[in-house]
């Protein structure tokens, strides 16, 4: 009952964000078309996700049907080309959509963003046969995808991965295991980085492995702090035979493909953090306006007013950086990789701090699961860790500063 009442309040909050607060909706600078699908995404978040986000978290439900509904709006392959079922939108459009969806459920939106990244990798690096075979079902979310790079012994140093793919006739025989795979076990299509050659990045290839392939199995479902509406499992290969026809690009191109996918992935995950911060600023504002202590509402307290102002300022600054990075990637600018890393580093850190501050402003209520703010905090914490940790982002940015003239 409590959760239900809270959900209703939360729907109102999200609608309020989308309709009334132009500073927070950030429609400024967007075209009419972008404003249209931003509104569609906000409405979907408010009506189809926000009422259920606490339940999906609590019961660890992977909301397959909701995601398929999102796919009907074109969100299953946002930046995949239309001839294979995608929406053919830009990276900036994609960011606007993921920010809006995340106000309704960060965890579900973040999974959708990984799925989109995989579909884009197949669309971009696959041949016509591969694109036609996989992309339409991924764009409609009839099938779901997972991105498999990390291994138990290779995280930040991803190019040291050990999963081997030995060529035997017209198949590769895979052996090894992947750790922390989002969607793992529940998804249908695994985009797997594995070693076909010698040590280092150049020995890595990218294969599409279908669920049901003999020799493919999964570890136990991990218990996590957040991101509970999507399963995370190890993906295990034991003499798993995958047709050579399932290789994306050439042998040795796999690491490049993986990193190109992640450039967009980093903008997307930063956009999911933006959506969380966006929702939390609004939740904090609403709480300050109604909660009374020392004989007046908290909104009359100048310390809290200033903190709220800082949160909103950092949110808007974060959004500008994400949108700048998205535009740079779209235009294939030389600074795109650094900007994507800067956006991921700055925005996932700042937005975590915004959400955490919003929780603080709720006092003890912020620590109760009846209030959405704690879930946003739990869900976006991992954005500082995955798709390259924020330390790795610093490595990428400084490397480019120090080596390029
Ligand atoms: C919920 C969840 C979902 C995930 N989903 C996926 C997925 O779908 N697919 C996938 O492939 N992976 C996924 N990952 C894995 C994620 O990308 C890795 O956890 C991440 O890259 C970090 O690797 P690691 O955990 O091995 O940490 P480590 O690499 O062991 O790092 C530990 C710490 O040391 C720091 N560190 C390491 N090297 C350096 C250095 N040279 N300088 C400074 N600091 C350093 C790191 O930044 C980190 O803080 C997921 C992880 C989680 C938690």
Pull the structure tokens for residue 348.
Answer: 């996932």
From the CA of 18, how far away is ligand 1's center (Å)?
A: 34
Give the global pTM: 0.95
Pull the structure tokens for residue 403.
Answer: 């080596």
Ligand 1 atom 38 nearest Cα: 156
From the CA of 141, how far away is ligand 1's center (Å)?
A: 27
Following DSSP, what letter does each residue of 43-78 receive, concatenated?
HHIIIIIGGGHHHHHHHT---HHHHHHHHHTT-SST
* pLDDT for 23: 59
**Residue 33 burial by Cβ neighbours in a 10 Å radius (0-12, 13-18, 19+):** exposed
Those residues whose C-beta lies under 8 Å from the C-beta of residue 344, and which sit 6 or more positions away, are 266, 267, 269, 270, 383, 387, 388, 390, 393
Report how far residue 240's alpha carbon sits from residue 379's, in angstroms, rounded to the nearest whole number. 34
Answer for the pair 41, 274: CB distance below 8 angstroms, yes or no: no
Same domain, 326 and 378: yes
Same domain, 264 and 250: no
> Is 155 touching ligand 1 by the criterion CB < 6 Å?
yes
Q: How many domains does the chain have?
A: 3
Ligand 1 atom 37 nearest Cα: 156
> Is 147 touching ligand 1 by the criterion CB < 6 Å?
yes
Same domain, 53 and 132: yes
* pLDDT for 147: 98
Those residues whose C-beta lies under 8 Å from the C-beta of residue 271, and which sit 6 or more positions away, are 94, 95, 96, 98, 99, 102, 113, 322
* pLDDT for 28: 83
Low pLDDT (below 70) residues in the chain = 1-26
> Is 160 touching ligand 1 by the criterion CB < 6 Å?
no
Those residues whose C-beta lies under 8 Å from the C-beta of residue 398, and which sit 6 or more positions away, are none
The residues that are catalytic are 387
Report how far residue 222's alpha carbon sits from residue 208's, in angstroms, rounded to the nearest whole number. 23
> Is 66 touching ligand 1 by the criterion CB < 6 Å?
no
* pLDDT for 29: 87
From the CA of 152, how far away is ligand 1's center (Å)?
A: 10
CA 41 to the chain's CA centroid = 15
Same domain, 83 and 197: no
Domain boundary among 207, 227, 254: 254
Same domain, 268 and 390: yes
The closest alpha carbon to 164, from 146, 153, 177, 150, belongs to 177
Report how far residue 309's alpha carbon sits from residue 71's, in angstroms, rounded to the nearest whole number. 36
* pLDDT for 8: 46
Range of the domain at 48: 2-139
pLDDT in tens, 71-121: 999 999 999 999 999 999 999 999 999 999 999 999 999 999 999 999 999
């Amino acid at each position: 009952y409590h959760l239900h009442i809270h959900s209703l309040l939360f729907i109102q909050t999200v609608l309020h964000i989308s309709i009334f607060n132009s500073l927070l909706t950030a429609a400024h600078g967007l075209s009419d078309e972008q404003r249209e699908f931003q509104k569609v995404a906000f409405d979907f978040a408010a009506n189809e996700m926000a009422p259920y986000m606490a339940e999906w978290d609590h019961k660890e439900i992977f909301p397959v049907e909701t995601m398929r509904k999102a796919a009907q709006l074109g969100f299953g392959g946002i930046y995949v080309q239309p001839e294979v079922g995608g929406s053919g939108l830009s990276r900036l459009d994609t960011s606007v959509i993921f920010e809006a969806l995340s106000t309704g459920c960060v965890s579900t939106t973040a999974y959708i963003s990984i799925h989109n990244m995989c579909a884009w990798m197949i669309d971009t690096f696959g041949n016509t046969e591969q694109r036609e075979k996989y992309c339409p079902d991924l764009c409609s979310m009839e099938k779901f995808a997972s991105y498999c790079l990390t291994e138990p012994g290779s995280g930040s140093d991803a190019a040291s991965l050990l999963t081997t793919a030995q060529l035997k006739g017209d198949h590769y025989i895979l052996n090894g295991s992947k750790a922390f795979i989002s969607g793992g076990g529940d998804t249908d299509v695994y985009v797997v980085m594995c070693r076909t050659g010698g040590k280092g990045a150049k020995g890595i290839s990218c294969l599409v492995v279908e669920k049901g392939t003999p020799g493919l199995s999964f570890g136990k479902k991990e218990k996590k702090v957040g991101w509970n509406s999507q399963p995370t499992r190890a993906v295990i290969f034991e003499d798993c035979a995958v047709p050579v026809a399932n290789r994306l690009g050439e042998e040795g191109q796999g690491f490049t493909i993986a990193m190109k996918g992640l450039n967009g992935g980093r903008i997307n995950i930063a956009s999911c953090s933006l959506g969380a911060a966006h929702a939390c600023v609004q939740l904090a504002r609403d709480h300050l306006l109604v909660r009374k202590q020392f004989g007046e509402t908290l909104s009359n307290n100048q310390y809290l007013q200033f903190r709220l102002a800082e949160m909103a300022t950092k949110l808007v600054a974060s959004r500008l950086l994400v949108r700048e990075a998205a535009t740079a990637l779209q235009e294939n600018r030389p600074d795109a990789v650094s900007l994507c890393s800067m956006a991921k580093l700055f925005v996932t850190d700042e937005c975590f701090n915004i959400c955490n501050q919003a929780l603080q402003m709720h006092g003890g209520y912020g620590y109760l699961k009846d209030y959405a703010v704690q879930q946003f905090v739990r869900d976006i914490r991992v954005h500082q860790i995955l798709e390259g940790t924020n330390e790795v982002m610093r490595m990428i940015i400084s490397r480019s500063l120090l080596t390029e003239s």
